[in-house]
Structure 1
Amino acid sequence: MTTTDHQPRARLLESVGAIEPWDDLEHTHLTTAAEWIGGGAPLYRVRKPDVPAMHLVTYFVVLDDTRGQLLLVAHRKAGLWLPAGGHVEPGEDPWAAVVRECREELGIQAVASPLTGERPFFLTVTRTRGEGSHTDVSLWYLLNADTDAVTSYDDGEFSAIRWLTDDQVLEESPEFLDPHMHRFTRKLQHILKP
């Protein structure tokens, strides 16, 4: 680990350490992520789709508090409904990746939810499907936006977008969603409806 690499890793470890695990699986994923970050392994994708085989990703779940809905996108490559997001660039702060990807993919400014601020809310470690399969260490962030604010999206990456209530997300078959979407939604419900 180089000296220039130490500070971003320390900040990332601090962010990961501040996430309260929702369940045993998230606890396991947080431990795995902390060991991976602290162990000095490469963190950022340097060549598409799978170099290195494990790398950092951000998801951002856009919430419309007024309507009680969250935004999911139909991701073309994954073939699943999931939150918008993308890969963290080498040396990039994960929150900066959220800001960049939000602008690129949804054409809106990233506004952090008052529930979490600019800190990740959830973390998953997931093996991707299909050609070039690799492991994404995904930091999930919460953003606020009105449904009316999202008027376009990156149709090269997404075939459609949908606004759903948390209950509607939980009614969706898990085979069509990110494999952790139901768990994320239950964690979100827990903080929204104590």
Structure 2
Amino acid sequence: MPHLHTAPGDHDATVSFFIVRIDGSEPRLTFHRHLKVQKLMMFGGHIERDETPWAAVLRELVEESGYQPSQVRVLQPIIRVRQLTDAAVHPVPVMSSTACTSTDPSHFHTDLLYALVADEPPAAEPEPGESTDIRLVTRSELDGIPDEEVVEMWRQAGRFILDEILDAWEPVDISTYPRAAPLVDW
């Protein structure tokens, strides 16, 4: 599907996520080589016109990683809003950021980054046309990736997830959160 905002100065709304594998001797962060950028970065993509940000995460999860939603949990702060009347509560992102992500210096992506955890390999392969160069890296390996191989802001985000979020936030079943917004007649 074409991007929603393509004019100079526009901001595309995107979601992204790291999957932290916790089934080894130490946590490993999942990176993939982005096909256009040709650097290691997190999974993610654009929020489509008919999606909530959380629905976009679930779609991109299957498309880009091969994981099924039942295989992962989302890390969430212990203190958070868990329910609202007449509104769907979505997971709290690890961070929200805006960056120029193209050769056009006036085009931006405003992104919500999530942290997911898994204790097994993905059930499937990434969908056709998606990157298959997927890497699991430990915290020390993350620091050792050459600068020309990784998008630095995503290395920094990965460090934050491994160093701060992984032990401080709780893993929550993804089915806790709805894909769509409720229909409310105000």
Q: Same fold (TM over 0.5)?
A: yes
- Say whether the 8 Å CA contact 1:58–1:98 is kept in structure 2: yes
- Say whether the 8 Å CA contact 1:170–1:185 is kept in structure 2: no
Q: Percent identity?
A: 27
Q: Which structure would you say has the larger RCO, counting Cα contacts within 8 Å and 6 or more residues apart?
A: 2
Match of 1:85 among 17, 25, 44: 44
The corresponding residue for 1:187 is: 160
Query: TM-score, normalised on structure 2?
Result: 0.68
User: How many Å separate the matches in 2 of 1:65 and 1:94?
Assistant: 25
Deviation at 1:124, TM superposition (A): 2.2
- Say whether the 8 Å CA contact 1:54–1:135 is kept in structure 2: yes
- Say whether the 8 Å CA contact 2:95–2:112 is kept in structure 1: yes
The corresponding residue for 2:122 is: 149
Q: How many pairs does the alignment contain?
A: 149
Q: Decide whether aligned partners of structure 1 residues 127 and 143 sit closer, same or farther in structure 2, where only a CA change above 3 A counts.
A: same
The corresponding residue for 1:75 is: 34
The corresponding residue for 2:177 is: none
Question: Runs of 4+ in structure 1 displaced over 6 angstroms?
Answer: none
User: How many Å separate the matches in 2 of 1:186 and 1:45?
Assistant: 29
Query: TM-score, normalised on structure 1?
Result: 0.66
User: How many Å separate the matches in 2 of 1:58 and 1:173?
Assistant: 25
Q: Decide whether aligned partners of structure 1 residues 150 and 70 sit closer, same or farther in structure 2, where only a CA change above 3 A counts.
A: farther
The corresponding residue for 1:9 is: none
The corresponding residue for 2:73 is: 112
The corresponding residue for 1:58 is: 15
Determine whether 1:140 maps to 2:98.
Answer: no
The corresponding residue for 2:143 is: 170
- Say whether the 8 Å CA contact 1:124–1:180 is kept in structure 2: no
- Say whether the 8 Å CA contact 1:56–1:138 is kept in structure 2: yes
More off after superposition, 63-72 vs 131-140: 131-140
- Say whether the 8 Å CA contact 2:13–2:110 is kept in structure 1: yes
More off after superposition, 150-159 vs 167-176: 150-159
Deviation at 1:155, TM superposition (A): 5.0
Q: Which ranges of structure 2 fall in alignment gaps of 5 or more residues?
A: 78-89, 169-186
Deviation at 1:151, TM superposition (A): 4.3
Deviations 1:3-46 (A, max 9, x none): xxxxxxxxxxxxxxxxxxxxxxxxxxxxxxxxxxxxxxxxx942
Paired AA for residue 46 in structure 1: L
Q: Decide whether aligned partners of structure 1 residues 152 and 183 sit closer, same or farther in structure 2, where only a CA change above 3 A counts.
A: same
The structure where helix makes up a greater share of residues is 1
CA RMSD of aligned residues (A): 2.7
